[in-house]
Chain A
Amino acid sequence: MASLGGEALTVTHVEKKKKPPARYWEDPPQQAGNGDNNRGTDGEQAGRQTEQQTPKAKKRKENEDRGDGNKFLSGKADRFPGPAPIPEDRLQKFKRKEKMKKPRRQHYKLKDMIARSEENSEMSQIQAARLDLLLPEDAGFLEGDEGEDTCTISQEDIAESVDITSKTKYFDLKLSQFGPYRVDYSQTGRQVLLGGRRGHIACIDWQSKQLTCEINVMESVNDVKWLHSEAMYAVAQKKWLHIYDSNGIELHCIRKFNDVLRMQFLPYHFLLATASATSFLQYLDVSVGKEVAAICTKTGRLDVMCQNPQNAVIHLGHANGTVTLWTPNQKEALVKMLCHHGAVRSVAVDKTGTYMVTSGMDKKLKVFDIRTFKPLKSYFLPAGASCLSLSQRGLLSAATGDIVQVYRDVWSTPVTKPYMAHRVQKTVWGTHFCPFEDVLGVGHGDGFTSMLIPGAGEPNIDGLDANPFRSAKQRQEWEVKALLEKVQPELISLNPTELGMVDRAASEIKHQDRVKALGFDPLAKVKFVPKYKKKGRSSSGNIEKRKRQVGHEDQRDDIRKTAEDRVKIEKERRQKEKKEAVLSSQKSALDRFRK
């Protein structure tokens, strides 16, 4: 503003200023005047003569010209001064919490501590966002021609147009004898576990197509699930829950868990959650082999189950159309949601723990926001979806009869057409997206199909968590570390960050907890027991008298208090009356018509 308005004024102002003494290292002024490109110590003086601005404005302009004013020895200015900008969405991705709103008065130590920790968290956020730009892999995608639906592109087409390694990921296993099959991929996505209804169990390293083990348990199999590593898996058989190792040797038969229909494994808690036909939800700690909780849900047969990977809450779907949320710490459901008019057929929760997708017998597919427990979208599927499964990048697979449909962005945009579709030989029994791969495993009546779904898997793996390329040594190390930091089942709650928050429970609640923990009330008034006095002065009469005195003291306190209160009330009443009297004195002419 100064440079705009002060043009005329500054002339005299500058003229008045004393010229700096000439120095031999400076260029002669007439030479420096025409060259705007040589910006040195002399450039400043040259500009002052030619452009005739106030020194302040000049300086400001120069700063703008040079950006940060960083200069190298060569005299060139840095064209991109300062740290490189980071896109806002990347920063948002790594944001953990909002900046703390500062209360009015803070202790100086606390203020300092908060400031420092906030600085640290901001730095870590920025560094993580910077590293995010350098991640090596990009997600897969599938784009059709203009006007072409991607759902019409067949698996064969895709398999033909991708590289050889990916091509081998599309395959069919024809296992018509013991089907239909349940599917489960291991945490790293290297192994697939197939469980045939009629007792056939197979573990396959599906990328190299090597069979790790194959057994027939000679019993009906309801569900199969990998435990924390590829070394062990659980099988829900006709009566009991069994645990096998990767060689197919039965390690345990757990008689406490009967008639299990569905299972979920909580990898960070080492808990195997099972839902049974007897409406029991049970938790097995697989690291110590103990039953952590057994909850009778009293809702009938439980054959719809999924977990929220963000907070380890188990979602159960019921025949009356409700979905209930459970933790091992509470005997009642945390939340009961009425989702469908018919029975719930399948439930799935996305990786971020934000959205829940349900399908019901009313042939609807619904999307809920489980932070607010509100419905977001509702779709009508003519055949209804039987198996739902969500991929790491949010693709939804829904099986209707023998067709597997994959949808994209079901929660953000209203979807009209599937992203991909594929027909398998017989009715689909279980679907599971392979982690870190663009692959959907479909178990059906006629075996197992591995489909290519571009854009399903998370492209960049984290080597310290689930690493598909880990060696045996790395796996061992990971296993020890994971066991050491096993999260206790008591910490499961709807909000996983609750542990890092300040407990603002009222002092009354805290006191109640303390009473419960101690078994007595530490702040309770002690019953007055008069001291024993010798020489006959502690006769029973005397004791009673002393007790009465103390009692009277208490009474007196109460009486004093009530008297004070009464005085106070009286005072207030009088003031109020006074006010009213003042008001009533200003009567208007219309007041006489009032009652």
Chain B
Amino acid sequence: MRYNEKELRALSRQPAELAAELGMRGPKKGSVAKRRLVKLVVNFLFYFRTDEAEPLGALLLERCRVAQEEPGGFSISFVEDPERKYHFECCSQEQCEQWTEALRRASYEYMRRSLIFYRNEIQKMTGKDPLEQFGISEETRFQLSSLPRDGLSARVSSRLDELD
């Protein structure tokens, strides 16, 4: 698949939400953990050799599952192939929790759900649509009906129903 690699590299140089040196092990069997500089920028996780400015690679964090792994680490896998995991080793349980929290919120889909949730909350409190000030209230991607049918959306939707 073709992609604009130049822009992706430029993105890897943008200010990160979170960055740290972690142990990283790829999903292939028999792969060895290596020290990598790991950087979270928007919905991409970049990883660099610790002494290099150019990233080795990137993971798009959509439709992924982040799980804590004993001891003091976490893994990222993707919905279409849950057994294929990227493993990361942290230096403390705190760091592990910090990363898993940040990674779970780092997808576009998560942001969209949050927006819909806040929009509904504010609408119920004030009777006004807070998206009108941005001129985006009509966009289909922010309607409740645009949420995909999965566990998390069901919870958000039922939460919204409770508030009715």
Partners in one complex: no
Interface residues of A (CB under 8 A from B): none
